[in-house]
Amino acid sequence: MDRLTALQVFRHVAELNSFAEAGRRLGLSPPAISKNIAELEGHLGVRLINRTTRRMALTEEGRIYLEHVTQGLDALARADQVLGPIKTAPSGTLRVSAPMTVTLTRLSAGIPAFLSRYPDLKLDLHLDDRRVDIVREGFDLAIRGSDNLEDSSLVARKLAVMPHVLCAAPSYFEKHGRPKTPADLKAANCIRFSLSGHADIWEFRKDGRSERIAIEGRYSVSSSLAVRDALRAGFGVSLIPHPYVESDLKAGRLQSALDDWEKVETTLYAVYPARQHLAPKIRVFLDFLIEEFSRDKEKPFVPLRRERSARRSVGEGTEAENQTEILPSISSP
């Protein structure tokens, strides 16, 4: 029995709760996975995993053993890194999940130049507004909005803030009137971005008071680009991140409303598995993201100054900018 391989197999099976997925991650066949587990149990003289054709679960002994195996394998990984080169050129495949509109609005134009800097690096970029399970789906990093952070043992690195704007096409305002107060939106055809944490309740603040409006509308969609298209067509009014409609507002295709009311903001984060030592490919991509969101200050992304990093749990609240956060343990604009 290759003891190290068997320990790695056990850890993957336990963490992924799947023999088949562990095999895919490790490049081993299902029989090889089962053999490693059986040999490890034989060596220890205890059953680590109760399994049937449909389910598996760690035994009490398996849970205790997993804790120590995890610590041991992590210690070995750190030892390898200490003995390796201090700086390693980024290489391999970097799997990233990002919201489509943020990427097309801000990032995609700079990606070819980024990859040109690192000839040994490949980027597998998935554009999807849905919430993904980063670990289970095998992503190295995801870009997420503050209302769509996953509840998981992940690190969240602030990138920028996106202010929102209430807007519609001139033709819509001419036909239905321009709202003068948030309450006027109750009678409006509000276009909702269904993946937002504030899809059905829009909040406005002014002079120390807050108004939360339960909005109604005939169109709810899971794409910010689709929301923008509906706005351009004069179909309704929406509360949308300002960067997505900046050019439309400047060109007069869309017009803003309730400008004297403060609206919701979305903080953008780079989210990745908590690791003591970041892989070079993740580190350089983080640097790229920070650079992209910090350039062209006139753009309506509000960059966060690179002053210091702090660690805190989401929900505690802080004004320190550009922080690194550890999301509470339990899994887009």
3-state SS, residue 127: strand
The per-residue pLDDT for 319 is: 33
Closest by CA to 84, choosing from 274, 275, 280, 273, is 280
CB 31 within 8 A of CB 39: no
**What contacts 288, CB < 8 A, 6 or more positions away?**
110, 114
pLDDT category, 202, cuts 50, 70, 90? very high
- Burial letters 308-324, b for 16+ CB under 10 A, else e: eeeeeeeeeeeeeebbb
Task: Tell whether 179 and 235 lie within a shared domain.
Answer: yes
Contacts of range 203-212, beta carbons closer than 8 Å, 24 or more positions apart: 203/263, 203/264, 204/258, 204/261, 204/262, 204/263, 205/261, 205/262, 205/263, 206/260, 206/261, 206/262, 211/182, 211/183
pLDDT at 316: 33
CATH number for the domain spanning 248: value is: 3.40.190.290
CA angle, 216 as apex, 210 and 218 as ends, to 5°?
A: 150
Same-domain check for residues 319 and 173: no
pLDDT of 87 strictly over 60? no
Q: Give the strand pairing for 141-145 and 92-98.
A: parallel
What is the secondary structure of 281-297 as a DSSP string? Answer: HHHHHHHHHHHHHHS-T
Least confidently predicted of 32-41, 103-112, 204-213, 296-305: 296-305
Residue bearing the bigger pLDDT, 120 or 198: 120
296/67 Cα distance (integer angstroms): 47
- Check whether 259 has a pLDDT greater than 60: yes
Q: 135 and 284 in one domain?
A: yes
pLDDT category of residue 85 using cuts at 50, 70 and 90: low
Same domain (yes/no): 153, 168: no
| Range from 30-39, 80-89, 189-198, 216-225 carrying the lowest mean pLDDT | 80-89
The share of the chain scoring above pLDDT 90, in percent, equals 51
Tell me whether residue 241 is in a domain.
yes
pLDDT (tens digit, 9 = 90+) per residue, 5-58?
999 999 999 999 889 999 999 999 989 999 999 999 999 999 999 987 778 889
Output the domain CATH number for residue 276: 3.40.190.10
pLDDT in the model for residue 251: 96
What is d(CA 324, CA 173) in angstroms, rounded to the nearest whole number? Answer: 42
In-domain check, residue 333? no
Query: Residue 89's pLDDT is what?
Result: 79
Single-letter code of the amino acid located at 132: V
For 156-185, write each residue's pLDDT tens digit.
Answer: 888 988 889 999 999 999 999 999 999 999
Task: Give me the number of domains the chain comprises.
Answer: 3
Domain boundary pick from 220, 245, 265: 265
Per-residue pLDDT, averaged over 138-146, amounts to 86
H-run or E-run covering 13:
helix 3-16
Domain extent at residue 103: 92-160+269-326
Of the residues 233, 250, 265, the one at which a domain ends: 265
